[in-house]
Chains A and B, each alone.
Chain A
Amino acid sequence: AQSVTQLGSHVSVSEGALVLLRCNYSSSVPPYLFWYVQYPNQGLQLLLKYTTGATLVKGINGFEAEFKKSETSFHLTKPSAHMSDAAEYFCAVSEGGGADGLTFGKGTHLIIQP
Protein backbone atom coordinates (compact mmCIF):
# COMPACT_ATOMS: atom_id res chain seq x y z
CA ALA A 1 0.00 0.00 0.00
CA GLN A 2 1.16 3.50 -0.73
CA SER A 3 1.28 6.37 1.74
CA VAL A 4 2.43 9.97 1.95
CA THR A 5 3.83 11.89 4.91
CA GLN A 6 4.09 15.66 4.87
CA LEU A 7 6.23 17.04 7.67
CA GLY A 8 4.76 20.13 9.23
CA SER A 9 1.07 20.94 9.04
CA HIS A 10 2.00 24.64 9.00
CA VAL A 11 5.09 26.29 7.55
CA SER A 12 5.73 30.01 7.93
CA VAL A 13 8.31 31.90 5.86
CA SER A 14 9.04 35.54 5.20
CA GLU A 15 8.29 37.06 1.83
CA GLY A 16 11.37 36.61 -0.35
CA ALA A 17 12.69 33.66 1.67
CA LEU A 18 13.17 30.08 0.51
CA VAL A 19 10.13 27.84 0.65
CA LEU A 20 10.71 24.17 1.53
CA LEU A 21 7.78 21.80 1.96
CA ARG A 22 8.68 18.23 2.82
CA CYS A 23 7.10 15.08 1.44
CA ASN A 24 8.08 11.46 1.99
CA TYR A 25 6.28 8.54 0.44
CA SER A 26 6.13 4.79 0.62
CA SER A 27 5.31 2.69 -2.40
CA SER A 28 5.81 -0.93 -3.39
CA VAL A 29 6.47 0.03 -7.02
CA PRO A 30 8.12 3.02 -8.71
CA PRO A 31 5.75 5.85 -7.90
CA TYR A 32 4.31 8.75 -9.75
CA LEU A 33 4.45 11.82 -7.50
CA PHE A 34 2.45 15.02 -7.56
CA TRP A 35 2.24 18.35 -5.77
CA TYR A 36 -1.08 20.15 -5.76
CA VAL A 37 -2.00 23.57 -4.38
CA GLN A 38 -5.38 24.50 -2.94
CA TYR A 39 -6.44 28.10 -2.41
CA PRO A 40 -9.32 28.84 -0.01
CA ASN A 41 -12.71 27.63 -1.23
CA GLN A 42 -11.24 26.19 -4.40
CA GLY A 43 -10.34 22.81 -5.80
CA LEU A 44 -6.82 21.49 -6.25
CA GLN A 45 -4.49 22.69 -8.97
CA LEU A 46 -1.49 20.71 -10.17
CA LEU A 47 1.86 22.39 -9.45
CA LEU A 48 4.13 19.70 -10.87
CA LYS A 49 4.54 15.96 -11.23
CA TYR A 50 7.25 13.34 -11.49
CA THR A 51 6.69 10.30 -13.67
CA THR A 52 10.00 9.09 -15.10
CA GLY A 53 13.24 10.60 -16.33
CA ALA A 54 14.76 13.76 -14.89
CA THR A 55 14.46 13.77 -11.11
CA LEU A 56 14.32 17.55 -10.81
CA VAL A 57 10.91 18.68 -11.92
CA LYS A 58 9.91 22.27 -12.57
CA GLY A 59 6.34 23.42 -12.17
CA ILE A 60 4.21 26.49 -12.29
CA ASN A 61 4.68 29.67 -10.23
CA GLY A 62 8.43 29.07 -9.81
CA PHE A 63 8.09 25.84 -7.81
CA GLU A 64 10.25 22.78 -8.32
CA ALA A 65 10.67 19.40 -6.66
CA GLU A 66 13.34 16.73 -6.67
CA PHE A 67 12.60 13.01 -6.61
CA LYS A 68 15.13 11.19 -4.40
CA LYS A 69 14.54 7.47 -4.54
CA SER A 70 17.14 6.66 -1.86
CA GLU A 71 15.40 9.00 0.57
CA THR A 72 11.87 8.25 -0.67
CA SER A 73 11.33 11.99 -0.79
CA PHE A 74 9.79 14.55 -3.11
CA HIS A 75 10.30 17.91 -1.39
CA LEU A 76 8.85 21.08 -2.92
CA THR A 77 10.92 24.25 -3.08
CA LYS A 78 10.70 27.81 -4.32
CA PRO A 79 13.68 30.18 -4.08
CA SER A 80 11.73 33.29 -3.14
CA ALA A 81 8.30 33.26 -1.50
CA HIS A 82 5.58 35.62 -2.63
CA MET A 83 2.48 36.62 -0.70
CA SER A 84 0.35 34.92 -3.33
CA ASP A 85 1.95 31.57 -2.46
CA ALA A 86 -0.04 31.38 0.77
CA ALA A 87 -2.21 28.28 0.36
CA GLU A 88 -2.55 24.61 1.28
CA TYR A 89 -0.12 22.27 -0.47
CA PHE A 90 -0.71 18.56 -0.94
CA CYS A 91 1.77 15.88 -1.95
CA ALA A 92 0.25 12.82 -3.60
CA VAL A 93 1.41 9.46 -4.91
CA SER A 94 0.05 7.09 -7.52
CA GLU A 95 1.28 3.60 -8.23
CA GLY A 96 -0.30 3.55 -11.67
CA GLY A 97 -2.20 0.56 -12.90
CA GLY A 98 -5.96 0.68 -12.46
CA ALA A 99 -8.26 3.61 -11.97
CA ASP A 100 -7.48 4.04 -8.28
CA GLY A 101 -7.19 7.65 -7.26
CA LEU A 102 -4.27 9.43 -5.73
CA THR A 103 -3.13 8.93 -2.15
CA PHE A 104 -2.68 12.32 -0.52
CA GLY A 105 -0.69 13.59 2.41
CA LYS A 106 -2.42 15.60 5.13
CA GLY A 107 -1.34 18.86 3.54
CA THR A 108 0.91 21.74 4.61
CA HIS A 109 -0.51 25.19 5.16
CA LEU A 110 2.03 27.72 3.87
CA ILE A 111 1.98 31.11 5.61
CA ILE A 112 3.87 34.03 4.12
CA GLN A 113 4.96 36.74 6.54
CA PRO A 114 5.30 40.25 5.08
Chain B
Amino acid sequence: EADIYQTPRYLVIGTGKKITLECSQTMGHDKMYWYQQDPGMELHLIHYSYGVNSTEKGDLSSESTVSRIRTEHFPLTLESARPSHTSQYLCASSEGTGAYEQYFGPGTRLTVT
Protein backbone atom coordinates (compact mmCIF):
# COMPACT_ATOMS: atom_id res chain seq x y z
CA GLU B 1 0.00 0.00 0.00
CA ALA B 2 1.24 3.42 -0.96
CA ASP B 3 2.27 5.65 1.92
CA ILE B 4 2.34 9.19 0.69
CA TYR B 5 0.84 11.97 2.73
CA GLN B 6 -0.17 15.53 2.06
CA THR B 7 -1.14 18.23 4.50
CA PRO B 8 -3.28 20.17 4.75
CA ARG B 9 -6.04 18.49 2.77
CA TYR B 10 -7.96 21.75 2.43
CA LEU B 11 -6.68 25.32 2.79
CA VAL B 12 -8.48 28.63 2.40
CA ILE B 13 -6.17 31.60 2.62
CA GLY B 14 -6.12 35.28 1.77
CA THR B 15 -4.22 36.94 -1.04
CA GLY B 16 -0.59 37.74 -0.31
CA LYS B 17 -0.04 35.06 2.33
CA LYS B 18 2.89 32.68 2.20
CA ILE B 19 1.91 29.02 2.21
CA THR B 20 3.70 25.69 2.24
CA LEU B 21 2.05 22.47 1.14
CA GLU B 22 3.60 19.43 2.73
CA CYS B 23 4.27 16.08 1.06
CA SER B 24 5.94 13.09 2.65
CA GLN B 25 6.46 9.50 1.57
CA THR B 26 7.71 6.53 3.54
CA MET B 27 8.63 4.30 0.61
CA GLY B 28 12.18 5.57 0.14
CA HIS B 29 11.45 6.68 -3.42
CA ASP B 30 14.00 8.91 -5.09
CA LYS B 31 11.62 10.43 -7.64
CA MET B 32 8.96 12.86 -6.46
CA TYR B 33 6.53 15.06 -8.36
CA TRP B 34 4.03 17.90 -7.91
CA TYR B 35 1.02 18.14 -10.20
CA GLN B 36 -1.61 20.87 -10.44
CA GLN B 37 -5.17 19.85 -11.24
CA ASP B 38 -8.02 22.27 -11.95
CA PRO B 39 -11.60 20.96 -11.62
CA GLY B 40 -12.53 18.76 -14.55
CA MET B 41 -9.11 19.13 -16.11
CA GLU B 42 -6.03 17.04 -16.58
CA LEU B 43 -3.07 17.02 -14.25
CA HIS B 44 -0.11 19.20 -15.18
CA LEU B 45 3.41 18.56 -13.90
CA ILE B 46 4.78 21.66 -12.17
CA HIS B 47 7.86 20.33 -10.33
CA TYR B 48 9.85 17.15 -9.98
CA SER B 49 12.91 15.85 -8.20
CA TYR B 50 15.42 13.11 -8.97
CA GLY B 51 16.51 12.94 -5.34
CA VAL B 52 17.97 14.96 -2.48
CA ASN B 53 19.09 18.47 -3.53
CA SER B 54 17.57 17.97 -7.01
CA THR B 55 14.60 20.04 -8.21
CA GLU B 56 13.36 20.72 -11.72
CA LYS B 57 10.49 22.67 -13.23
CA GLY B 58 7.80 20.74 -15.04
CA ASP B 59 5.77 21.35 -18.17
CA LEU B 60 3.43 23.92 -16.63
CA SER B 61 4.97 27.17 -15.46
CA SER B 62 4.30 27.81 -11.81
CA GLU B 63 5.18 30.59 -9.38
CA SER B 64 5.65 28.02 -6.65
CA THR B 65 9.01 26.66 -5.50
CA VAL B 66 10.03 23.31 -4.07
CA SER B 67 12.87 21.91 -2.02
CA ARG B 68 14.23 18.40 -1.42
CA ILE B 69 16.44 18.34 1.64
CA ARG B 70 15.38 14.87 2.72
CA THR B 71 14.42 11.90 0.56
CA GLU B 72 11.01 11.55 2.16
CA HIS B 73 9.99 15.22 2.12
CA PHE B 74 9.09 17.42 -0.89
CA PRO B 75 7.32 20.61 0.22
CA LEU B 76 5.86 23.18 -2.18
CA THR B 77 5.87 26.88 -1.27
CA LEU B 78 3.99 29.89 -2.59
CA GLU B 79 5.61 33.11 -1.35
CA SER B 80 2.56 35.26 -2.07
CA ALA B 81 -0.68 33.48 -2.81
CA ARG B 82 -3.05 34.86 -5.44
CA PRO B 83 -6.57 33.80 -6.52
CA SER B 84 -5.04 32.36 -9.72
CA HIS B 85 -3.27 29.80 -7.52
CA THR B 86 -6.62 28.29 -6.51
CA SER B 87 -6.40 24.65 -7.56
CA GLN B 88 -5.78 21.13 -6.34
CA TYR B 89 -2.16 20.14 -5.84
CA LEU B 90 -1.20 16.46 -6.00
CA CYS B 91 2.10 15.03 -4.86
CA ALA B 92 3.44 11.74 -6.21
CA SER B 93 6.50 9.55 -5.91
CA SER B 94 7.98 6.64 -7.81
CA GLU B 95 10.77 4.15 -7.46
CA GLY B 96 12.03 4.98 -10.94
CA THR B 97 10.94 6.58 -14.18
CA GLY B 98 9.33 5.38 -17.38
CA ALA B 99 7.50 2.14 -16.62
CA TYR B 100 7.44 2.68 -12.90
CA GLU B 101 4.12 3.42 -11.23
CA GLN B 102 3.65 6.80 -9.59
CA TYR B 103 1.98 6.73 -6.19
CA PHE B 104 -0.22 9.72 -5.43
CA GLY B 105 -1.09 11.46 -2.22
CA PRO B 106 -4.69 12.53 -1.48
CA GLY B 107 -4.07 16.10 -2.64
CA THR B 108 -4.40 19.58 -1.16
CA ARG B 109 -7.29 21.70 -2.32
CA LEU B 110 -6.15 25.32 -2.13
CA THR B 111 -8.50 28.28 -2.30
CA VAL B 112 -7.06 31.80 -2.32
CA THR B 113 -9.60 34.53 -1.59
Contact = CB atoms under 8 A, between A and B. Distances in A.
Q: Answer whether A and B are interacting partners.
A: yes
A35 B41 CA distance: 16
A99 B50 contact: yes
Contacts, number: 80
Main secondary structure of the interface of B (DSSP, over half): strand
B106 A43 contact: yes
Contacts of B6: 43
Range of interface residues on chain A?
Answer: 20 to 34
A55 to B, nearest CB: 15
Interface string B1-16: 0001010010000000
A68 to B, nearest CB: 18
A100 B48 contact: yes
Interface residues of B, number: 31
Nearest to A91: B42
Given A43-B90, A43-B104, A43-B106, A94 B42 contact: no
26 contacts: A4-B42, A32-B98, A32-B99, A34-B101, A36-B104, A41-B106, A42-B106, A42-B107, A43-B104, A44-B104, A46-B101, A49-B99, A52-B99, A90-B42, A90-B43, A96-B97, A99-B31, A99-B56, A101-B45, A101-B48, A101-B59, A102-B45, A103-B45, A104-B42, A104-B43, A106-B40
